[in-house]
Structure 1
Amino acid sequence: MHYDTLIIGAGLSGLAAGIRCAYFDQRVCVLERHTTIGGLNSFYRLRGRNHDVGLHAVTNYAAPGTKTGPLSKLLRQLRIRWEDFALCEQVGSSVVFPGATLRFTNDFELLQQEIVETFPEEKDNFQRFHSHLLEFNELDLHQEVQSAREVVGRFLNNPLLIDMLFCPLMFYGSARPDDMDWNQFVIMYKSIFMEGFARPYKGVRPIMKTLVRKYREVGGELRLRAGVNRILVEDGRAVGVELDNGERLTADRIVSSAGSVETLKLCDDEAKASSEPRLLEPGDVTFNEIIDVINVQPADLGHDRTIIFFSNSESFHYRRPDAPCDLQSGIICSPNNYQYDEPLSEGCIRLTALANHHYWLNLDEADYEVAKAEWTAKIRETALTYLPDYREHILDTDAFTPKTIRRFTGHVNGVVYGAPNKSLDGTLPVKNVFVCGTDQGFLGIVGSMLSGITMANNHCLT
């Protein structure tokens, strides 16, 4: 079977790329190893309840009818209606460090006011920094890599303010320990602080189902349980794939959302040997996450924040911890605290902590379950510094670790944000193979879809 484009992975970026290709009458097929769609942003049902895998918030919020910005662009490119996503804005979020709190909503003026009141000596510096950031073109796919720490340090002097700005952006998008690429910092700063958080009432399901429906409407083929065993390469050029069951499919090009390291591992030894060493360096930053279902609304207990990013230390460290999990920082997310027309039927608290993938990936099954229960309790105990003690209200708990992530995504080290070195233009050393999604570099729910759209536009439709 021959296709114009084969796409590896039925996540947000892969499906968005498939829709663009199918719109232009290409014969396109999305290949997914697992039995369901979504990848890092999938959903599942456990003990009678629906859960989202990775969704804390949709960043890059824009009000319905907005003509500019990432969200409106992707809706136009995919010909999807605003109401298909039905996004509800956040109530309000916070960054909390010892002795300082910065509140923010989808109105950027609140964050600016908070910074001026908390760090008055940085008022002019912050304005200069913000102006410099707005002048930068983060969508230039051929820019040189710059350290965000170095750029921000040229403008701001207070290390506490710097760490408080970096904390949410790193937690929601950095594959690089203790730093970010400047272009990714700009992307995340705009998407979180300037545009803000939203969420569909029913979680990620309506987004994923809308993408699949649209993809099939325009003639795209989706194959589940169709894992790619290797990419077929002839004379340095990809010509197709071999599936896990031995079936071979040929194509003019391949777009992979599996990650750059993972995609190159599917190619032959000659292709890997010709790759720059940086492209074969896997990510090292990942997380444990807990989902606690409770029998009350979090706001009824006094917790009305949508998301809290916290650090118990003034110096924020974002790296693989020596311990199984880092209890010095984390994320507290409540899917209930959005501006819905009616409340969710049950309360929910999601807790996230940096994790040591070496520890979690090397446990045997019996030790793994014991360790997961132990560290779930420890992470929850740490979070209770920042929200009311809700433990007596818990109805059900689920948790995942780097081991879970590796099992369902195939990502080396069970990482969430892929490799530290991105391929912004999507190219890899093997001709006709392009990467989209996490390792291309556009991040978040909206960013992932824009990544698929941009790679399809640049490499499949020209």
Structure 2
Amino acid sequence: MYDTIIIGAGMSGLAAGIRLAHFGQRVAILERHYTIGGLNSFYRLRGRNYDVGLHALTNITPKGTKRGPLARLLRQLRFSWDDFDISPQNGSQIAFPQARLSFSNDFELLRSEVARVFPAQADRFDKMVSQIVDYDDLTDEHQQLSARQVLSEYLTEPLLVEMLFCPLMFYGSAREHDMDWGQFCIMFRSIFLEGLGRPYAGVRLILKLLVKKYRALGGELKLRAGVKRIVTDATSDGTHHVVGVELEGGEVLETRRVLSSAGWCETMRLCDDGQPVVSRASGQLSFCEAIATLDVPPSHFDYHQTITFFNDSPQFHWKKPTEQMCDVRSGVICSPDNFDYDRPLADEGTMRVTVLADQDQWLPLGDEEYQVAKHRWWDRIMASAVRFVPDFRSRIIETDMFTPGTIVRYTGHDNGAVYGAPDKQLNGTTHLDNLFICGTDQGFVGIVGSIISGISMANMHCLRE
């Protein structure tokens, strides 16, 4: 009998497992895949290491900071700042044809850039920022507010609004066209007010630290252990209660509670109680990412930006690209080389370009069609990127690419939706009194957000009896 079974060995599941095992619970994390991390994982291909998912950690505050998500994460999981070996970004930019805004981990840079490019908006921008600083946390009320509507009360320059939305939506919006005001505030603080950083060894360092600590505390991690169903039993008052899970191989594990990071819709389909639950739409926003390994670091051709968020028109379009397999009008260009490391990363370089993709066109493809589509769209994605950064294509020595199919394979998310369903379950509860969710569909996104979600839901629902 387990105290808690956790579905999914992504960031939120691993963090929850550490938290519970630290307090002596018998915990098992079940992962249907052969590796950990979900979308935020890593692999090795033709002698080179690749990260999947991670561009940068958000919420990066200076060493010794006592407040904020990163400080909370380190404190709750008993890690030190030095364990993660984080280096801050060199500096990033939002690039539209009409204007560019630079930003770094010093918020004053973005503030001065807004005043320089949009002088008539400077005071309005400061008032908006004051409101965001005062914002406390996700609530149902904030979830129901439209960020576009709230911003219209502060900013009167449409281009500035679109430029602010571009990075925040790419890094954390499951909703088309708009964001919830609460999510906008979270992402604004995590990217602009706090900042971006990266462990020297990439995402593999974070995952290895999490797994090592979890196992040292006595937690069990079962790979290739997909959950077929969540087993329930009727109680005396006619309600249902989770009593265990059945694995795809037929084994049944008994437990007092289940914490699932599989996603809301995905978790509800596992329940065998037959009871009506709150239905909600699956997410529709998925990505393709084209990866290029270069024979030199980007600094060799005078490119020093850590991340470039680009868009090729005054209006930023954030919706599923049904007319094409990918939407190359906008995207994210990340160079893992361009962080302020205290030692050289490598003699080679990397450029990663991420764009929106239509999973309905990618997922049905057969193997041959899939490979042809990858080659064609890899070229188109890179051609789109070099409109906004120096043309690095002559320096490419190796390529790879992931698609919505890759995301489905590693995460199991419906539609390959990176940020899950648009409607979040902020308190993590379900129709069953001992089944809870954490991770993307609870309400926090990104690596730090996912880890905080696992910690918060473990504290709230699994450590209070």
Fold conserved (TM > 0.5)?
yes
Letter in 1 for 2:293: V
CA separation in 2, counterparts of 1:320 and 1:17? 32
Residue 451 (str. 1) matches residue 441 (str. 2): no
Give how far 1:141 is off: 6.9
Letter in 2 for 1:460: C
Any idea what SS the aligned residue of 2:189 has?
A: helix
How many residues align? The count is 457
Letter in 2 for 1:298: P
CA separation in 1, counterparts of 2:201 and 2:100? 30
Letter in 2 for 1:292: A
CA separation in 2, counterparts of 1:124 and 1:439? 35
Letter in 1 for 2:184: F
Q: Is the contact made by 2:143 and 2:183 (CA closer than 8 Å) also made in structure 1?
A: no
Q: Which position in structure 2 is the counterpart of 1:201?
A: 200
Equivalent of 1:240 in 241, 244, 254: 244
Any idea what SS the aligned residue of 2:401 has?
A: strand
Unaligned runs of 5+ in 1: none
Give how far 1:431 is off: 2.5
Q: Which position in structure 2 is the counterpart of 1:391?
A: 393
Q: Which shows bigger deviation, 191-200 or 135-144?
A: 135-144
Q: Which position in structure 2 is the counterpart of 1:380?
A: 382
Give how far 1:325 is off: 0.4
CA deviation string 1:72-95 (max 9, x = no partner): 111000001111101000000000
Q: Which position in structure 1 is the counterpart of 2:344?
A: 343
Taking the TM superposition and a 5 Å limit, the aligned residue runs for 1:95-114 are: 95-114=94-113
Q: Which position in structure 1 is the counterpart of 2:222?
A: 223
Give how far 1:265 is off: 1.1
Residue 292 (str. 1) matches residue 295 (str. 2): no
Give how far 1:283 is off: 0.3
- Per the normalisation by structure 1, the TM-score is 0.97
CA separation in 2, counterparts of 1:396 and 1:29? 39
Taking the TM superposition and a 5 Å limit, the aligned residue runs for 1:262-277 are: 262-268=266-272, 270-271=274-275, 274-277=276-279
Q: Which position in structure 1 is the counterpart of 2:409?
A: 407
Give how far 1:144 is off: 5.0
Q: Is the contact made by 1:39 and 1:408 (CA closer than 8 Å) also made in structure 2?
A: yes
CA separation in 2, counterparts of 1:158 and 1:53? 36
Any idea what SS the aligned residue of 1:101 has?
A: strand
Give how far 1:343 is off: 2.1
Q: Which position in structure 1 is the counterpart of 2:364?
A: 362
CA separation in 1, counterparts of 2:460 and 2:245? 22
- Per the normalisation by structure 2, the TM-score is 0.96
CA separation in 2, counterparts of 1:372 and 1:391? 17
Q: Which shows bigger deviation, 50-59 or 148-157?
A: 148-157
CA separation in 2, counterparts of 1:76 and 1:141? 27
CA separation in 1, counterparts of 2:446 and 2:462? 23
Letter in 1 for 2:296: V
Q: Which position in structure 2 is the counterpart of 1:47?
A: 46
CA deviation string 1:38-82 (max 9, x = no partner): 111111111111110111000000122211111011100000111
Residue 306 (str. 1) matches residue 310 (str. 2): no
Q: Which shows bigger deviation, 384-393 or 114-123?
A: 384-393
CA deviation string 1:125-152 (max 9, x = no partner): 1111111122222244775521111111
Letter in 2 for 1:268: D
Give how far 1:308 is off: 0.2
Give how far 1:18 is off: 0.5
Give how far 1:268 is off: 2.5
CA separation in 2, counterparts of 1:405 and 1:441? 19
CA separation in 2, counterparts of 1:234 and 1:176? 35
Taking the TM superposition and a 5 Å limit, the aligned residue runs for 1:314-353 are: 314-321=314-321, 322-345=323-346, 346-353=348-355
CA separation in 2, counterparts of 1:240 and 1:142? 34
Q: Is the contact made by 2:91 and 2:306 (CA closer than 8 Å) also made in structure 1?
A: yes
Which aligned segments of 4 or more residues in structure 1 are displaced greater than 4 angstroms?
139-144
Any idea what SS the aligned residue of 2:255 has?
A: strand
CA separation in 1, counterparts of 2:294 and 2:202? 17
Letter in 2 for 1:62: T
Unaligned runs of 5+ in 2: 235-239
> What RMSD in Å do the two structures reach over aligned CA positions?
1.2
